[in-house]
Structure 1
Amino acid sequence: MPWSVRWVGGCGAQSQKQCKKSSFAFYQAVRDLLPVWFLEDMRTMEAFHWEDGGKVSVYSPSEALLYALVHDHQPYARHLLTKFPQSALAVPSQSFSCCQSAPHLAMAVRYNRVRVLFRILKAVQALPPGDRAAHLDRQGCSRVEGGKTALHMACELVRPECLLLLLGHGAAPCLRDSAGNTPLDTLLQQISHMPAANMRAKLLCLDCLFFFVPQDLKFAMKQQLLDNRQQWQDLLGENRFQCLVGLAPPSLFVGAMRVLIRTISPEHFPEALDNLPLPHFLKPLDLKLES
């Protein structure tokens, strides 16, 4: 709860300076992975924000979770999501972030925090359907993030574990960013970068997308694939290329996986992957995550 700046010293400049010191001290404490009880005492007893109108306030659970994500403080993230399941995923204050939407999923993908992402997705599943979709399909501001969703970011940064978790928990695979690109377009742009690097992970991301996108998906780069057929066949392999541009149906494996994965509810993803009637080497990813 905000309080008057006079409470912390009476001088606006001094209060602003104290807020900056407290904020940096909290940043260091999370970075150093200090105990949860210490961080929560610090968060609820210190002033971190300088608000309009001469007010200061503490960090919210949502803002604390962003710090936990950046520094991979998994016990603190678990505590915040367990004790504050809704407010930990709320929109940060304007003094903390200029983008007025909850960026936690995108932040987890950016820093490749797979385990914390998993916990966030489980917390999102407990929200009402409308709020759930707003989190899963949240598009970043066009000025800073180009309207990208967390799925776009997983494709851009080539994060196969993050990509599969998002898809399995219901993230929409066909949304377009500010440039009109679907996540598939974003991934194909990464695959086309020369020299080819990290190609195994890129193709793994592509295979994961195949399991969730509709067969008739319209994507911006389709004509480019057709115009440079040999180049893309070399990059993707003939079967993937033919399927992508609609010259051949999906393989039996892809068709079977699409059917099987649809039988798994988000509440049981990815644990239920272990129960699929497939040999281990045919399963898309080995995600061993604690609930």
Structure 2
Amino acid sequence: MPWDVGEQHCEGRSDYKSEKRCQRTSFAFYQAVRDQLPAWLLEDMRVMEVFHWEDDGRAHSFTPSEALLYALVHDHQAYARYLLTRYSVAALDAPSRSFRCCQASGAPHLSVAVRYDRVMILKMIMTSVKDFPAEGERRGFLDRRGACPHDADGGKTAVHLACDLLRPECLLLLLGHGACPYLGDGAGNTPLDSLLHLIGQGPAHVSAHVSADVRRRQVCLGYLLLFMPKLHFQLKQQLLLKPEQWQSLVGTEAFHWLAGVSPPSLFVKAMQTLVRSIPAERLDCLPGFLKPIDFPL
């Protein structure tokens, strides 16, 4: 078989033939996941038949964590479910160096799920996150920033990325399972700053595409503010300098809250209490009039 490479054949970076064989097996596995082959077959390949080449000059089998990244990219929900059920939080470990830009990078599963908008697999990951043995580990995973300066997501949490890319369903899942809404990037910009920056740009013209984009901004802002009892962001001064413009963008009530002129409404306070008192899995089952805060943009 083309992926039949033993460790004894992959010793030393000078073994060009073995390295090329490893590249072929890696691509074979990539294609198999892309083609949505059955989970049992993919797992047999991963465990026994495919290898990838590492910087130590040796061939290595794919880990469950690396296989899950492939499942995320290609939205192979059945294989993702198998990996997370079989290996639980071990499937969320940091991948090997060949899967990361630099050594400082951690487990990228949340960022990949948000970037590719894999809502169903993200729900599975959130269920597995509960199996972390310590609260600190769970929170560390949810709030991990992209550490690599070469990465477009460097310095940003998954929540921040969900706001940048306008992924409201991903954002609700992350916040509902305890991800922090306040953490800023390397420049100190919070997720709320990113959303307000997008809202402040405003559409040059109205079209079906722009209208959908504006609605996603609206929904993301509503979800984010539901999980922020205290507002932390840098753009407050800009709001105060152009009050009429921002009131037209976010609505008078939301503007007064963001500018610190008045507290949130009783409805908002009630909703903040509600989202803290029901399981995260039930948040997307709320009636339409309760999700999210419907700030007019």
- TM-score, normalization by structure 2: 0.87
Alpha-carbon offset, residue 177 of structure 1: 0.8
* Larger displacement relative to structure 2 (13-22 or 148-157): 13-22
Aligned-partner residue type, residue 187 of structure 1: L
The residue aligned with 2:71 is 68
Alpha-carbon offset, residue 240 of structure 1: 1.1
The CA distance in 1 between the partners of 2:12 and 2:147, in whole Å, is 37
1:15 aligned onto 2:22: no
The residue aligned with 1:88 is 91
The residue aligned with 2:289 is 282
* Larger displacement relative to structure 2 (41-50 or 115-124): 41-50
Structure 1: runs of 5 or more not aligned: 286-291
Cα distance change on mapping 1:102 and 1:39 into 2, 3 Å: same
The CA distance in 2 between the partners of 1:211 and 1:193, in whole Å, is 23
The CA distance in 1 between the partners of 2:15 and 2:64, in whole Å, is 26
What number of residue pairs does the alignment pair up? 276
The residue aligned with 2:207 is none
The residue aligned with 1:102 is 107
The residue aligned with 1:251 is 265
Cα distance change on mapping 1:230 and 1:50 into 2, 3 Å: same
Question: Which whole-Å deviations, capped at 9, do the CAs of 1:33-76 have from their partners, x for residues lacking one?
Answer: 11111111111123432223431101100000000001100000
Cα distance change on mapping 1:9 and 1:40 into 2, 3 Å: farther
The CA distance in 2 between the partners of 1:194 and 1:213, in whole Å, is 24
Question: Which whole-Å deviations, capped at 9, do the CAs of 1:214-256 have from their partners, x for residues lacking one?
Answer: 23x2311111111122221111111111111111111121110
Cα distance change on mapping 1:233 and 1:52 into 2, 3 Å: same
Question: Which whole-Å deviations, capped at 9, do the CAs of 1:63-115 have from their partners, x for residues lacking one?
Answer: 00000001100000000000011220000001121253111111111111111
Aligned-partner residue type, residue 135 of structure 2: P
Aligned-partner residue type, residue 168 of structure 1: G
Aligned-partner residue type, residue 214 of structure 1: P
Alpha-carbon offset, residue 21 of structure 1: 0.9
- Is the 2:25–2:50 contact (alpha carbons within 8 Å) kept by the matching residues of 1? yes
Alignment of 1:118-197 (within 5 A): 118-127=123-132, 128-143=134-149, 144=151, 145-195=153-203, 197=210
The residue aligned with 1:31 is 34
* Identity, % of aligned positions: 53
State the Cα RMSD in Å.
2.1
The residue aligned with 1:220 is 234
The residue aligned with 2:121 is 116
The CA distance in 1 between the partners of 2:259 and 2:8, in whole Å, is 62
- Is the 2:11–2:57 contact (alpha carbons within 8 Å) kept by the matching residues of 1? no
* Larger displacement relative to structure 2 (45-54 or 196-205): 45-54
- Is the 1:5–1:15 contact (alpha carbons within 8 Å) kept by the matching residues of 2? no
Question: Which whole-Å deviations, capped at 9, do the CAs of 1:126-162 have from their partners, x for residues lacking one?
Answer: 1121210111001002511230000001100111111
The residue aligned with 1:50 is 53
- Is the 1:26–1:42 contact (alpha carbons within 8 Å) kept by the matching residues of 2? yes
1:203 aligned onto 2:210: no
Question: What SS class does the counterpart of residue 22 from structure 2 fall into?
Answer: helix
